[in-house]
Structure 1
Amino acid sequence: MRHPNHPATRTLARPATLLLATALLTGGLTGCDALASLDVCGGTADRVKAMRSDPVLQAAPEGAITPKGLGEVEAGCSEDSGAGWLYAERVFAHPGSREKVLDFYRTAADKDGWLLRRGAEQGHGTGRAEEGLCFTRGKDGDTFTLSVHFTDARQLKENYDYVAGPEFDSGAGFEISINSELNGADSGCFD
Protein backbone atom coordinates (compact mmCIF):
# COMPACT_ATOMS: atom_id res chain seq x y z
CA MET A 1 0.00 0.00 0.00
CA ARG A 2 1.36 3.39 -0.95
CA HIS A 3 1.67 6.15 1.58
CA PRO A 4 -0.99 8.88 1.10
CA ASN A 5 1.74 11.44 0.36
CA HIS A 6 3.41 9.32 -2.33
CA PRO A 7 3.43 11.35 -5.61
CA ALA A 8 1.57 8.65 -7.58
CA THR A 9 -1.17 8.53 -4.93
CA ARG A 10 -1.58 12.31 -5.00
CA THR A 11 -1.70 12.26 -8.83
CA LEU A 12 -4.52 9.71 -8.83
CA ALA A 13 -6.33 11.32 -5.94
CA ARG A 14 -6.70 14.71 -7.64
CA PRO A 15 -8.82 13.45 -10.59
CA ALA A 16 -10.88 11.27 -8.26
CA THR A 17 -11.46 14.20 -5.92
CA LEU A 18 -12.36 16.44 -8.85
CA LEU A 19 -14.81 13.82 -10.18
CA LEU A 20 -16.46 13.43 -6.77
CA ALA A 21 -16.71 17.21 -6.31
CA THR A 22 -18.25 17.56 -9.78
CA ALA A 23 -20.80 14.83 -9.02
CA LEU A 24 -21.76 16.47 -5.74
CA LEU A 25 -21.99 19.94 -7.31
CA THR A 26 -24.08 18.63 -10.20
CA GLY A 27 -26.40 16.90 -7.76
CA GLY A 28 -26.72 20.10 -5.73
CA LEU A 29 -27.52 22.17 -8.79
CA THR A 30 -30.16 19.77 -10.11
CA GLY A 31 -31.75 19.07 -6.73
CA CYS A 32 -30.62 15.42 -6.88
CA ASP A 33 -28.48 13.52 -4.47
CA ALA A 34 -25.96 12.27 -7.02
CA LEU A 35 -24.41 9.65 -4.75
CA ALA A 36 -27.77 8.28 -3.58
CA SER A 37 -28.99 7.81 -7.15
CA LEU A 38 -25.94 5.80 -8.18
CA ASP A 39 -27.44 2.58 -6.80
CA VAL A 40 -31.14 3.29 -6.30
CA CYS A 41 -32.13 0.06 -8.02
CA GLY A 42 -29.58 -2.20 -6.35
CA GLY A 43 -31.04 -5.31 -4.75
CA THR A 44 -34.37 -5.21 -6.62
CA ALA A 45 -33.83 -8.18 -8.96
CA ASP A 46 -35.96 -10.63 -6.94
CA ARG A 47 -38.94 -8.26 -6.72
CA VAL A 48 -38.70 -7.47 -10.44
CA LYS A 49 -38.53 -11.20 -11.25
CA ALA A 50 -41.64 -11.87 -9.15
CA MET A 51 -43.52 -9.04 -10.85
CA ARG A 52 -42.47 -10.24 -14.32
CA SER A 53 -43.82 -13.72 -13.63
CA ASP A 54 -47.13 -12.65 -12.09
CA PRO A 55 -49.88 -14.75 -13.74
CA VAL A 56 -52.06 -11.74 -14.53
CA LEU A 57 -49.41 -10.48 -16.98
CA GLN A 58 -49.62 -13.76 -18.86
CA ALA A 59 -53.43 -13.70 -19.02
CA ALA A 60 -55.20 -12.12 -21.97
CA PRO A 61 -58.75 -12.08 -23.29
CA GLU A 62 -59.60 -14.48 -26.08
CA GLY A 63 -58.41 -13.13 -29.42
CA ALA A 64 -55.75 -10.84 -27.92
CA ILE A 65 -52.37 -10.90 -29.62
CA THR A 66 -48.96 -9.62 -28.67
CA PRO A 67 -47.70 -7.29 -31.37
CA LYS A 68 -44.48 -8.29 -33.12
CA GLY A 69 -41.63 -6.71 -31.20
CA LEU A 70 -43.72 -6.10 -28.07
CA GLY A 71 -44.52 -9.69 -27.15
CA GLU A 72 -42.39 -10.00 -24.04
CA VAL A 73 -42.98 -8.64 -20.57
CA GLU A 74 -40.70 -5.65 -20.13
CA ALA A 75 -39.59 -5.36 -16.50
CA GLY A 76 -37.03 -3.56 -14.43
CA CYS A 77 -36.26 -0.79 -12.03
CA SER A 78 -36.37 2.79 -13.21
CA GLU A 79 -34.80 5.74 -11.45
CA ASP A 80 -35.89 9.35 -11.79
CA SER A 81 -34.22 12.07 -9.71
CA GLY A 82 -33.18 9.63 -7.01
CA ALA A 83 -36.64 8.07 -6.65
CA GLY A 84 -37.01 4.59 -8.04
CA TRP A 85 -39.90 2.35 -8.93
CA LEU A 86 -40.29 -1.19 -10.18
CA TYR A 87 -42.34 -2.13 -13.22
CA ALA A 88 -43.40 -5.09 -15.33
CA GLU A 89 -45.55 -4.37 -18.37
CA ARG A 90 -46.72 -5.66 -21.69
CA VAL A 91 -48.84 -4.60 -24.64
CA PHE A 92 -51.68 -6.44 -26.37
CA ALA A 93 -53.98 -5.78 -29.30
CA HIS A 94 -57.54 -7.06 -29.04
CA PRO A 95 -60.12 -7.18 -31.84
CA GLY A 96 -63.09 -6.83 -29.48
CA SER A 97 -64.52 -4.04 -27.40
CA ARG A 98 -62.79 -2.28 -24.55
CA GLU A 99 -65.50 -3.45 -22.20
CA LYS A 100 -64.63 -7.10 -22.98
CA VAL A 101 -61.00 -6.39 -22.12
CA LEU A 102 -61.97 -4.72 -18.84
CA ASP A 103 -64.41 -7.48 -17.91
CA PHE A 104 -61.69 -10.07 -18.53
CA TYR A 105 -59.18 -8.30 -16.27
CA ARG A 106 -61.70 -7.63 -13.52
CA THR A 107 -62.10 -11.42 -13.28
CA ALA A 108 -58.44 -12.39 -13.88
CA ALA A 109 -57.10 -9.86 -11.39
CA ASP A 110 -59.62 -10.90 -8.74
CA LYS A 111 -58.54 -14.56 -9.13
CA ASP A 112 -54.92 -13.48 -8.71
CA GLY A 113 -55.60 -11.61 -5.45
CA TRP A 114 -55.78 -8.08 -6.82
CA LEU A 115 -58.35 -5.67 -5.37
CA LEU A 116 -60.10 -3.20 -7.65
CA ARG A 117 -59.68 0.32 -6.36
CA ARG A 118 -63.09 1.89 -6.19
CA GLY A 119 -63.19 5.18 -8.02
CA ALA A 120 -59.89 4.31 -9.71
CA GLU A 121 -61.30 3.65 -13.14
CA GLN A 122 -59.91 6.37 -15.31
CA GLY A 123 -60.82 7.97 -18.57
CA HIS A 124 -57.69 9.89 -19.64
CA GLY A 125 -59.76 13.07 -19.56
CA THR A 126 -62.59 11.66 -21.65
CA GLY A 127 -65.00 11.30 -18.76
CA ARG A 128 -65.51 7.63 -19.65
CA ALA A 129 -64.68 5.10 -16.94
CA GLU A 130 -64.09 2.33 -19.49
CA GLU A 131 -60.64 3.69 -20.37
CA GLY A 132 -58.75 1.86 -17.61
CA LEU A 133 -58.71 0.01 -14.31
CA CYS A 134 -56.52 0.16 -11.22
CA PHE A 135 -55.96 -2.67 -8.74
CA THR A 136 -53.77 -3.05 -5.65
CA ARG A 137 -52.28 -5.96 -3.78
CA GLY A 138 -50.35 -6.03 -0.53
CA LYS A 139 -50.24 -3.59 2.32
CA ASP A 140 -48.34 -0.34 2.82
CA GLY A 141 -44.65 -1.14 2.75
CA ASP A 142 -45.24 -3.98 0.29
CA THR A 143 -47.87 -2.60 -2.10
CA PHE A 144 -48.14 -3.26 -5.81
CA THR A 145 -50.49 -1.66 -8.31
CA LEU A 146 -51.88 -3.25 -11.44
CA SER A 147 -53.21 -1.06 -14.20
CA VAL A 148 -54.98 -1.83 -17.43
CA HIS A 149 -55.23 1.10 -19.79
CA PHE A 150 -55.83 1.56 -23.48
CA THR A 151 -53.27 2.86 -25.91
CA ASP A 152 -53.09 4.02 -29.48
CA ALA A 153 -50.50 4.28 -32.27
CA ARG A 154 -49.24 7.69 -31.09
CA GLN A 155 -48.69 6.51 -27.51
CA LEU A 156 -46.97 3.33 -28.69
CA LYS A 157 -44.57 5.42 -30.77
CA GLU A 158 -43.84 7.78 -27.86
CA ASN A 159 -43.50 5.11 -25.15
CA TYR A 160 -41.92 2.21 -27.05
CA ASP A 161 -40.70 3.75 -30.33
CA TYR A 162 -43.05 1.22 -31.92
CA VAL A 163 -44.88 1.76 -35.20
CA ALA A 164 -48.31 0.20 -34.73
CA GLY A 165 -49.45 -2.21 -37.40
CA PRO A 166 -52.91 -3.17 -38.61
CA GLU A 167 -53.58 -5.12 -35.40
CA PHE A 168 -54.30 -1.73 -33.77
CA ASP A 169 -56.69 -0.53 -36.49
CA SER A 170 -59.77 -1.99 -34.85
CA GLY A 171 -60.63 -3.09 -31.36
CA ALA A 172 -58.58 -2.22 -28.34
CA GLY A 173 -54.85 -1.84 -27.95
CA PHE A 174 -53.98 -1.95 -24.28
CA GLU A 175 -51.16 -2.08 -21.79
CA ILE A 176 -51.17 -4.01 -18.55
CA SER A 177 -48.58 -3.14 -15.94
CA ILE A 178 -47.58 -3.93 -12.39
CA ASN A 179 -45.74 -1.20 -10.50
CA SER A 180 -44.32 -0.65 -7.06
CA GLU A 181 -42.49 2.14 -5.32
CA LEU A 182 -39.07 0.95 -4.11
CA ASN A 183 -40.21 1.27 -0.51
CA GLY A 184 -43.51 -0.49 -1.24
CA ALA A 185 -45.54 2.60 -0.36
CA ASP A 186 -49.17 2.65 -1.46
CA SER A 187 -49.58 4.72 -4.61
CA GLY A 188 -52.15 5.14 -7.34
CA CYS A 189 -52.06 3.76 -10.86
CA PHE A 190 -52.65 6.92 -12.84
CA ASP A 191 -50.91 9.56 -10.72
Structure 2
Amino acid sequence: MFPTLRRTALAVTVVLPAALLGGCSLIDSGGSCDGSGAARKDLATQKVLSSPPDGATAPANYRGVGVSTGCDDDSPGPAWLHADRVYTFPGTRRAVFDHYARTAAAQGWHTGPAPRAGAACWTRTDAGRHLVLNVDFQLDAWSPAPDPGKGIGYEVTVGSNADGGKAGVSCTD
Protein backbone atom coordinates (compact mmCIF):
# COMPACT_ATOMS: atom_id res chain seq x y z
CA MET A 1 0.00 0.00 0.00
CA PHE A 2 2.81 2.41 0.80
CA PRO A 3 4.54 1.99 -2.60
CA THR A 4 1.29 3.03 -4.34
CA LEU A 5 0.91 6.02 -2.05
CA ARG A 6 4.54 6.96 -2.64
CA ARG A 7 4.08 6.79 -6.46
CA THR A 8 0.91 8.89 -6.23
CA ALA A 9 2.67 11.46 -4.06
CA LEU A 10 5.59 11.57 -6.52
CA ALA A 11 3.20 12.04 -9.46
CA VAL A 12 1.38 14.85 -7.66
CA THR A 13 4.71 16.46 -6.74
CA VAL A 14 5.84 16.45 -10.38
CA VAL A 15 2.54 17.09 -12.20
CA LEU A 16 0.91 19.71 -9.94
CA PRO A 17 3.62 22.40 -10.31
CA ALA A 18 3.69 21.89 -14.09
CA ALA A 19 -0.10 22.22 -14.26
CA LEU A 20 -0.04 25.38 -12.16
CA LEU A 21 2.70 26.94 -14.30
CA GLY A 22 0.80 26.03 -17.44
CA GLY A 23 -2.32 27.65 -16.01
CA CYS A 24 -0.42 30.89 -15.40
CA SER A 25 0.72 31.02 -19.00
CA LEU A 26 -2.85 30.46 -20.13
CA ILE A 27 -4.00 33.46 -18.11
CA ASP A 28 -1.39 35.69 -19.78
CA SER A 29 -1.97 34.40 -23.32
CA GLY A 30 -1.99 36.98 -26.08
CA GLY A 31 0.35 39.35 -24.23
CA SER A 32 3.24 38.84 -26.61
CA CYS A 33 4.21 40.66 -29.79
CA ASP A 34 5.77 37.48 -31.18
CA GLY A 35 4.40 36.71 -34.62
CA SER A 36 2.57 40.05 -34.98
CA GLY A 37 4.44 41.22 -38.09
CA ALA A 38 1.77 40.21 -40.62
CA ALA A 39 -1.04 41.80 -38.58
CA ARG A 40 0.97 45.03 -38.23
CA LYS A 41 1.54 45.10 -41.99
CA ASP A 42 -2.21 44.67 -42.49
CA LEU A 43 -2.90 47.59 -40.17
CA ALA A 44 -0.42 49.72 -42.14
CA THR A 45 -2.45 49.15 -45.32
CA GLN A 46 -5.63 50.65 -43.87
CA LYS A 47 -6.59 53.25 -46.47
CA VAL A 48 -7.51 55.88 -43.88
CA LEU A 49 -3.83 56.23 -42.90
CA SER A 50 -3.06 57.55 -46.39
CA SER A 51 -6.20 59.69 -46.79
CA PRO A 52 -5.28 63.10 -45.33
CA PRO A 53 -7.11 66.33 -46.07
CA ASP A 54 -5.89 68.36 -49.05
CA GLY A 55 -2.83 70.34 -48.03
CA ALA A 56 -1.64 67.90 -45.35
CA THR A 57 1.99 66.78 -45.65
CA ALA A 58 4.61 64.91 -43.68
CA PRO A 59 6.29 67.12 -41.06
CA ALA A 60 9.56 68.68 -42.26
CA ASN A 61 11.51 66.46 -39.87
CA TYR A 62 9.63 63.26 -40.89
CA ARG A 63 10.11 63.26 -44.67
CA GLY A 64 9.80 59.79 -46.12
CA VAL A 65 8.74 58.09 -42.90
CA GLY A 66 5.15 57.37 -43.98
CA VAL A 67 3.37 54.75 -41.88
CA SER A 68 5.18 53.24 -38.92
CA THR A 69 3.99 50.21 -36.97
CA GLY A 70 4.54 48.91 -33.48
CA CYS A 71 3.45 46.47 -30.83
CA ASP A 72 3.06 47.21 -27.14
CA ASP A 73 3.05 44.22 -24.80
CA ASP A 74 3.88 45.91 -21.51
CA SER A 75 0.43 45.70 -19.93
CA PRO A 76 -1.84 42.80 -18.92
CA GLY A 77 -4.00 41.24 -21.60
CA PRO A 78 -3.41 41.02 -25.33
CA ALA A 79 -0.56 42.94 -26.91
CA TRP A 80 -1.64 46.15 -28.69
CA LEU A 81 -0.73 46.54 -32.37
CA HIS A 82 -0.77 49.92 -34.09
CA ALA A 83 0.04 51.64 -37.36
CA ASP A 84 0.65 55.39 -37.17
CA ARG A 85 1.16 58.29 -39.53
CA VAL A 86 1.97 61.92 -38.68
CA TYR A 87 0.86 64.88 -40.77
CA THR A 88 1.03 68.66 -40.68
CA PHE A 89 -1.89 70.70 -41.91
CA PRO A 90 -2.22 74.43 -42.67
CA GLY A 91 -5.86 74.56 -41.50
CA THR A 92 -7.75 74.04 -38.27
CA ARG A 93 -8.37 71.04 -36.02
CA ARG A 94 -12.07 71.28 -36.88
CA ALA A 95 -11.22 70.92 -40.61
CA VAL A 96 -9.12 67.82 -39.83
CA PHE A 97 -11.91 66.28 -37.70
CA ASP A 98 -14.52 67.03 -40.38
CA HIS A 99 -12.33 65.50 -43.10
CA TYR A 100 -11.76 62.28 -41.15
CA ALA A 101 -15.44 62.05 -40.16
CA ARG A 102 -16.35 61.98 -43.87
CA THR A 103 -13.41 59.76 -44.88
CA ALA A 104 -13.92 57.27 -42.06
CA ALA A 105 -17.65 56.95 -42.78
CA ALA A 106 -16.94 56.37 -46.48
CA GLN A 107 -14.46 53.61 -45.55
CA GLY A 108 -16.85 51.80 -43.18
CA TRP A 109 -15.74 53.17 -39.82
CA HIS A 110 -18.35 53.78 -37.11
CA THR A 111 -18.43 57.09 -35.28
CA GLY A 112 -17.28 57.18 -31.69
CA PRO A 113 -18.10 59.89 -29.17
CA ALA A 114 -17.91 63.54 -30.21
CA PRO A 115 -14.30 64.67 -30.72
CA ARG A 116 -12.53 65.85 -27.59
CA ALA A 117 -10.25 68.88 -27.65
CA GLY A 118 -7.32 66.79 -28.84
CA ALA A 119 -8.68 63.61 -30.45
CA ALA A 120 -11.48 61.80 -32.29
CA CYS A 121 -12.18 58.07 -32.62
CA TRP A 122 -13.95 55.51 -34.85
CA THR A 123 -14.23 51.70 -34.83
CA ARG A 124 -14.83 48.92 -37.34
CA THR A 125 -14.25 45.23 -37.94
CA ASP A 126 -12.10 44.15 -40.89
CA ALA A 127 -11.73 40.46 -41.77
CA GLY A 128 -12.79 39.54 -38.20
CA ARG A 129 -10.25 41.89 -36.58
CA HIS A 130 -11.65 44.66 -34.35
CA LEU A 131 -10.00 48.00 -35.14
CA VAL A 132 -9.97 51.48 -33.64
CA LEU A 133 -9.04 54.64 -35.53
CA ASN A 134 -7.78 57.71 -33.66
CA VAL A 135 -6.96 61.17 -34.94
CA ASP A 136 -4.97 62.91 -32.23
CA PHE A 137 -3.29 66.31 -31.90
CA GLN A 138 -1.38 65.43 -28.73
CA LEU A 139 2.06 64.61 -30.12
CA ASP A 140 4.10 65.07 -26.95
CA ALA A 141 5.22 61.42 -26.91
CA TRP A 142 6.80 61.55 -30.37
CA SER A 143 10.58 61.83 -30.51
CA PRO A 144 11.60 64.01 -32.14
CA ALA A 145 8.45 66.10 -31.84
CA PRO A 146 6.96 66.65 -35.31
CA ASP A 147 7.70 70.09 -36.75
CA PRO A 148 4.39 71.42 -38.10
CA GLY A 149 5.94 74.57 -39.53
CA LYS A 150 3.24 77.26 -39.61
CA GLY A 151 0.43 74.69 -39.38
CA ILE A 152 -0.75 72.11 -36.89
CA GLY A 153 0.51 68.57 -36.38
CA TYR A 154 -1.62 65.48 -35.88
CA GLU A 155 -1.37 61.69 -35.82
CA VAL A 156 -3.64 59.10 -37.42
CA THR A 157 -3.49 55.67 -35.74
CA VAL A 158 -5.20 52.36 -36.47
CA GLY A 159 -4.89 49.89 -33.59
CA SER A 160 -5.97 46.38 -32.68
CA ASN A 161 -5.37 43.69 -30.10
CA ALA A 162 -2.78 41.17 -31.29
CA ASP A 163 -5.47 38.49 -31.13
CA GLY A 164 -7.92 40.65 -33.13
CA GLY A 165 -10.46 40.46 -30.32
CA LYS A 166 -12.94 43.12 -29.28
CA ALA A 167 -11.84 43.50 -25.64
CA GLY A 168 -10.64 47.06 -25.05
CA VAL A 169 -11.11 48.10 -28.68
CA SER A 170 -13.42 51.05 -28.23
CA CYS A 171 -13.62 54.81 -28.28
CA THR A 172 -13.91 55.21 -24.53
CA ASP A 173 -11.09 56.12 -22.19
Query: TM-score w.r.t. structure 2 length?
Result: 0.70
Shift of 1:189: 4.1
Residue of structure 1 equivalent to 2:69: 75
Superposition map of 1:32-71 within 5 A: 40-67=32-59, 68-69=61-62, 71=65
Cα distance between partner residues in 1 of 2:153 and 2:159: 20
In 2, Cα distance between equivalents of 1:90 and 1:112: 17
1:147 aligns with 2:127: no
Tell whether the 8 Å contact from 2:97 to 2:115 is kept in structure 1 after alignment: no
- TM-superposed CA distance for 1:110, in Å, is 1.2
Q: Note if contact 2:109-2:123 (Cα within 8 Å) is conserved in structure 1.
A: yes
Aligned to 2:153: 173
- Compare relative contact order (CA 8 Å, sep 6+) and give the higher one, 1 or 2: 2
Percent of matched pairs sharing the same residue: 32
Please tell me whether the aligned partners of residues 98 and 171 of structure 1 are also in contact (alpha carbons under 8 angstroms). Answer: no
Shift in alpha-carbon separation, 1:72–1:190, aligned structure 2, 3 A: farther
RMSD of the alignment, in Å? Answer: 2.7
- Flag as ranges the 4+ runs of structure 1 deviating above 4 A: none
In structure 1, the partner of 2:143 is 161
- List runs of 5+ in structure 2 lacking aligned partners: 1-20
Q: Does 1:90 align with 2:71?
A: no
Separation in 1 of the partners of 2:90 and 2:51? Answer: 16
Question: 2:73 & 2:142 partners in 1: Cα distance?
Answer: 18
Gaps of 5+ in 1: 1-23, 25-31, 124-130
Query: Matched residues in 2 for 1:43 and 1:163: separation?
Result: 30
TM-score between both structures, scaled by the size of structure 1:
0.64
Residues 75 and 164 (structure 1), Cα distance of their counterparts in 2 relative to 1, 3 Å cut: closer
How many residue pairs match? The answer is 143
CA distance in 1, matches of 2:46, 2:146: 26
